Chain A
Amino acid sequence: DGGITQSPKYLFRKEGQNVTLSCEQNLNHDAMYWYRQDPGQGLRLIYYSQIVNDFQKGDIAEGYSVSREKKESFPLTVTSAQKNPTAFYLCASSLGTGGTSNNSPLHFGNGTRLTVT
């Protein structure tokens, strides 16, 4: 079955440590996205990539970095520069640019809950 796999489901880190969240998709989608979800704030876009070896900052990119070396993979690194990293992180992908046709709504992974203490 095609889908998006995020790992791990839960992640605990000490403050000051970098951590990388994995996102893999086998849907052959061109575009991939990282969102952060906090209570009462909905989903906020961190980074997105529309094609391999290219990515753009979203609305809250500070303290995060990404890479897109393969079409299937879009890992997110939460660096020590991110002031409030504890959150639920959702990865998504779409065939074209998400939300521009009925054939390309965003497909989401099951998320990674990161806790930094």
Chain B
Amino acid sequence: EDKVVQSPLSLVVHEGDTVTLNCSYEVTNFRSLLWYKQEKKAPTFLFMLTSSGIEKKSGRLSSILDKKELFSILNITATQTGDSAVYLCAVVFTGTASKLTFGTGTRLQVTL
């Protein structure tokens, strides 16, 4: 069974800290891994990763994929209170139709 596991489940940090969120997967026929940020309602797209070792970066956020060890990390540097959200990881596997399998999410709270 395809499985996506995120850790930690929740995290509280102080503004300015750097955090690393983890996503590991047990997926046959892996195609891509996606990160989303969910603040209140609609998750918003952050990154899509398909190749190992290539870092994707957007401002203070970056992510990288390791297809050999089957995991990805999402880094947030110099955290701000606006980074408080649930971060979702999803994996696309190919089969009769490509679809996303989501992890449980990591709830990040950034305090002053």
> Which residues of A are at the interface with B, using a C-beta cutoff of 8 A?
4, 33, 35, 40-45, 48, 50, 56, 58, 90, 97-102, 105-111
Contact with A along B73-88 (1 / 0, CB 8 A): 0000000000000001
Chain B interface helix/strand/loop/mixed: strand
Task: Find out whether the CB atom of B42 lies under 8 angstroms from the CB atom of A43.
Answer: no
Q: Which residues of A contact B99 (CB under 8 A)?
A: 33, 45, 48, 58, 97-99
Q: Which of A4, A33, A90, A105 contacts B48 (CB 8 A)?
A: A105
Give the number of residues in B that approach A within 8 Å (Cβ atoms): 26
Distance from A116 Cβ to chain B, minimum over Cβ atoms (Å): 20
Q: Which residues of B contact A33 (CB under 8 A)?
A: 99
Task: Find out whether the CB atom of A42 lies under 8 angstroms from the CB atom of B105.
Answer: yes
Residue ID in chain B nearest A110 by CB atoms: B41
Whether A56 contacts B97 in the complex (CB less than 8 A), given A44-B102, A99-B31, comes out as yes
User: Is B92 in contact with chain A by the CB < 8 A criterion?
Assistant: yes
Task: Find out whether the CB atom of A97 lies under 8 angstroms from the CB atom of B98.
Answer: yes
Q: Which residues of B contact A106 (CB under 8 A)?
A: 34, 36, 43, 45, 90, 100
Task: Find out whether the CB atom of A99 lies under 8 angstroms from the CB atom of B98.
Answer: yes
**In the assembly, what is the distance between CA of A67 and CA of B57, in Å?**
39
Residue ID in chain B nearest A96 by CB atoms: B98
